[in-house]
Structure 1
Amino acid sequence: MGLCFLGSSAIWGPSNVSGPEGGSLSVLCGYDATFKTYNKWWCRGAVWRPCQILVQTTGSEQEVKKDRVSIRDNHKNLTFTVTMEKLRKDDADVYWCGIQRTGTDDGVQMTVSVDPAPTTVPTTTTTTTSTVPTTPAETTASAGRTGHLSDGRGHGAELSIPGCVSPTLCVCVCVCALVLLFLVSSSLLLKHDMRVPTRGHS
């Protein structure tokens, strides 16, 4: 393959291109109308003749892709585009845009560099939970309205006594009522026994 430097009338392109690590880059190379239907290629290596052709067109405008590199010719604009994807650090090197010709190929040299991948700072999300405190007045009022009994399984069961301001007072009233009922009953039984006449022995 012969060598055609940057600025040649046959083919031209940028002298330096770069892309981010993990990203992609595109190289646009132009050529003379004489070579519209000629095959175009993308070659890697600082030395012209032993450079490695990575991808090459077939003389049409159809895209050709091989591994992470693709090439597409545009006959109307007289340009072809090379795209390198998923860039790695070791992709940095000297490359060539070239035209395949009978006898001697034409090409233009350029340097490809890979920029370090951007660093990202992880973000953390903090969730705040707020609770409304219970005032002593609310606690006292609740205790005055309801009592708690155990249902035998460790769960509390609420006991409400209608008409009672305090459960303790209601219990005392009930006990007093029962005692009074017992005394009245005992008095009635005693009076009944006194009214029954005793029988004499014959």
Structure 2
Amino acid sequence: MYLLLLFPLLFWLPGSSYEITGPEEVNGLEQSSLTVQCHYDPGWETYRKWWCRGADWSNCEIIVITTGTEGAMKKDRVSIRDDQRSHVITVTMEKLRREDTGVYWCGIERAGITADHGIQVKVTVDTVAARCHYGPRWEAYMKQWCGEADESSCTILVQTTGSKQAKKNRAYIDQEKRTFTVTLQN
């Protein structure tokens, strides 16, 4: 009789649920910010939440972790916040770099239990690129990429010299078939 009464209570105890959900994949642009939101079941509000990187769950490196409160924590370019009323973990990665592309995990530290629980999130950082087209007879003319909207005060980031390629600062031009592409790089 006591066993029958105790059994249903196990499903309602805080920490008895371990469900966490989030996006499978997210994309961001270089030098921009990316926000990931993971949702968790009630009962885990005061547990620490973390964001780690690594393809293998057992070896992922924790980048940032909460204290078990709603306050935001930040380390380098990554911050994490736990909204305990909405049961949402929000991770923000700033000033994205191409090398930030990889497998990450959004998780909950399950103190006293053998393993934490998390969800895998694949992060892809895309390069910013622009492709410009020009007509016949313009192949030998200089092409320029400008860093300002106002043409009169434009700072030239890169320009061609009639050759097929040019590179300067964080911009790269590659001309082919009456097009040239500017790719912003780190």
Whether 2:19 is the aligned partner of 1:19: answer: no
TM-score scaled to structure 2, two decimals?
A: 0.60
The 8 Å contact of residues 13 and 30 in structure 1, kept in 2 or not, is answered as yes
- Counterpart secondary structure, 1:108: strand
Aligned-pair CA distance for 1:18 = 1.0
Whole-angstrom CA distance in 2 between matches of 1:117 and 1:22: 9
Residue identity (%): 51
The 8 Å contact of residues 22 and 117 in structure 1, kept in 2 or not, is answered as no
Counterpart for residue 105 of structure 1: 116
**Cα deviation digits, residues 52-78 of structure 1 (max 9, x gap):** 000000000000000000000001101
Whole-angstrom CA distance in 2 between matches of 1:118 and 1:74: 36
Query: Any gaps of 5 or more consecutive residues in structure 2?
Result: 1-16, 132-144, 154-186
Whether 2:73 is the aligned partner of 1:64: answer: yes
Aligned-pair CA distance for 1:125 = 2.5
Whole-angstrom CA distance in 1 between matches of 2:19 and 2:152: 58
Give the aligned CA root-mean-square deviation in angstroms.
1.9
Whole-angstrom CA distance in 1 between matches of 2:18 and 2:61: 24
Whole-angstrom CA distance in 2 between matches of 1:13 and 1:83: 14
- Counterpart secondary structure, 2:152: coil
Query: Any gaps of 5 or more consecutive residues in structure 1?
Result: 1-7, 127-202
Matches of residues 1-202 of structure 1 in structure 2 within 5 Å? 10-102=19-111, 103-119=114-130, 121-122=145-146, 124-125=151-152
**Cα deviation digits, residues 93-136 of structure 1 (max 9, x gap):** 0000000002210000010000112449425329xxxxxxxxxx
| Regions of 4+ moved over 6 Å | none
The 8 Å contact of residues 109 and 116 in structure 2, kept in 1 or not, is answered as yes
Whole-angstrom CA distance in 1 between matches of 2:51 and 2:118: 9
Aligned-pair CA distance for 1:85 = 0.3
Structure with higher helix content: 1
Counterpart for residue 185 of structure 1: none
The 8 Å contact of residues 99 and 105 in structure 1, kept in 2 or not, is answered as yes
The 8 Å contact of residues 44 and 54 in structure 1, kept in 2 or not, is answered as yes
- Counterpart secondary structure, 1:70: strand
